Amino acid sequence: SKHSGARTASVDVWRRDDRLLIQVSDDGRGGADAAGSGLGGLAERLEAVDGLLVVDSPAGGPTVITAELPWRA
């Protein structure tokens, strides 16, 4: 909420087959730059471990960011 002006945020975590998914959403103004230094750096770190970062942040909001990682039992 620091940059988004969000009043509420939620975090959901679940497993789908051999993947762990972490989703963060808020009710802020949206417009997050997926290639920006913070999210871009996070995407690079996830890719390094065979993960994926998906950012859905249209202008006006809301923002939903999903991280997907391999599940290693």
pTM: predicted TM-score of the whole model, two decimal places: 0.88
Continuous segment of H or E residues that includes residue 45:
helix 37-48
Q: What is the pLDDT of residue 73?
A: 73
Continuous segment of H or E residues that includes residue 52:
strand 52-56
Q: What is the pLDDT of residue 2?
A: 62
**Domains defined for the chain, CATH in brackets:** 9-70 (3.30.565.10)
- Three-state SS for the chain is CCCCCCCCEEEEEEEECCEEEEEEEECCCCCCCCCCHHHHHHHHHHHHCCCEEEEECCCCCCEEEEEEEECCC
Query: Mean pLDDT for each 10-residue chunk of the chain (73 residues)?
Result: 81 97 95 85 96 95 96 84
